[in-house]
Amino acid sequence: MAVETETTDRKPWGRVWSGAQSLVRPTTERQRERRRIVALCLPFLVLLFVSGLVPLVEMLRMSVSEMRLATEGFTLEHYEMLVTDPYYRTIAFNTLWFAVATTVASIAVAIPVAHALEKYELPGKSVLLTVLSFPNSLPGIVAAFMIIVLLGNTGIITNLFAVLSGRSAIDLATATSVIGLFFAYLYSMIPRALLLLRGTYAEVNTDAEEAARSLGATPFETFRYVTFQQIKPGVVGAFILVFRTALAIFGTILILKSLLVWTLQIDREIAQGFNIAGASAMATVWFVCVFGFTLLSLRYTSAEVSI
């Protein structure tokens, strides 16, 4: 009888049942700690299942459905279309190069700003931080509207340059061009990179910087060889966050419409042709790519931290 019980316990379902019993009726402090962890994580797990796993599974089913308005049959034609059609390859290329360009530009601006905020006592620092972080609370549509107000046909900056140059404001307007969209992306992405980098700068070892300066290093050399090496994990983390933001922006691109990217095309598939299966295939590819990029990047970040 003891042998039979031991064999049963070795089965996977036996271990699962034993683990469930220990959660319901813990007998040791370790089991009680596990129960507390599960209780704390339970709301998130429920949310993950309801709003994450279930929609993703349904989206995957729709992407391989033979029917346009029902999940019936199985086909990979929508995925084949994304790979073989030059139109969709162009959209993917636009999405990637524009996301990379705006991400690099955002981090390039955020690093010196975060450096100044953490290294120097600036007047009105709290007000300045509030202004710099304010775009985080604004939706993309508002950011696009602000770019139109500044760079549109009747925009403030457009008309200022028109007066100075004597040219027509319509010729100088860039709100609905790639340039206007570029600045609209930066408006939403720089504050995200800045907030993360400020936290990284707070952990910088100032003694190492002072030692480098005392040994004759210039401010640039000190930043390059001492400071930047310490904030590199934060820069990588900011790149991950901002790049994902660039890939997911929709409201801004919907208003300005100066470049066809992945999120805008998903909306077109639904709004213009009611192609639910095609839109689901695009959304699935987008999710897999972003999830894979995040997973690999976080592993790199962990390696940087451990070093």
- Residue 37, domain extent: 4-10+16-51
Check whether residue 174 and residue 225 sit in a common domain. yes
Cβ 143 vs Cβ 187: under 8 Å: yes
Asked if residue 305 has pLDDT above 60, the reply is no
Encode pLDDT of 259-272 as tens digits.
Answer: 999 999 988 888 87
Asked whether residue 43 is assigned to any structural domain, the reply reads yes
Check whether residue 40 and residue 143 sit in a common domain. no
Average pLDDT of the chain is: 84
Residue 151 CA, chain-centre distance (Å), reads 26
Check whether residue 42 and residue 148 sit in a common domain. no
The CATH number for 291's domain is: 1.10.3720.10
Check whether residue 225 and residue 106 sit in a common domain. yes
Asked whether residue 131 is assigned to any structural domain, the reply reads yes
Encode pLDDT of 6-34 as tens digits.
Answer: 444 455 666 767 767 776 777 787 877 88
Check whether residue 45 and residue 86 sit in a common domain. no
Q: Which residue has the tokens 């790049």?
A: 243
Asked whether residue 188 is assigned to any structural domain, the reply reads yes
Asked whether residue 221 is assigned to any structural domain, the reply reads yes
Asked whether residue 160 is assigned to any structural domain, the reply reads yes
pLDDT value at position 16? 67
Asked whether residue 56 is assigned to any structural domain, the reply reads no
Burial class (CB in 10 A: 0-12, 13-18, 19+), 307: exposed
What's the structural domain count of the chain? 2
Which amino acid, one-letter code, is at 271? A
- Start-end of H helices in the chain: 2-10, 12-24, 29-48, 54-63, 77-84, 86-119, 125-133, 140-151, 156-165, 169-172, 178-201, 206-214, 219-222, 228-248, 251-256, 262-271, 276-306
Task: Give Cα separations from 31 to 14, 37, 58, 244 (angstroms).
Answer: 17, 10, 36, 38
Asked whether residue 67 is assigned to any structural domain, the reply reads no
Check whether residue 86 and residue 43 sit in a common domain. no
Residue of 227, 236, 226, 229 lying closest to 112 (CA atoms)? 227
Asked whether residue 177 is assigned to any structural domain, the reply reads yes
d(CA 263, CA 91) in angstroms, rounded, equals: 10
Check whether residue 155 and residue 250 sit in a common domain. yes
Lowest mean pLDDT among 15-19, 33-37, 114-118: 15-19
Check whether residue 112 and residue 151 sit in a common domain. yes
d(CA 215, CA 47) in angstroms, rounded, equals: 55
Check whether residue 164 and residue 295 sit in a common domain. yes
Check whether residue 118 and residue 233 sit in a common domain. yes
Encode pLDDT of 189-245 as tens digits.
Answer: 999 999 888 888 878 888 888 888 888 888 888 888 888 888 888 888 899 889 999
Check whether residue 172 and residue 129 sit in a common domain. yes
Structure tokens at 163: 């007066």
Q: What is the mean pLDDT of residues 29-54?
A: 83
Question: pTM score, two decimals?
Answer: 0.80
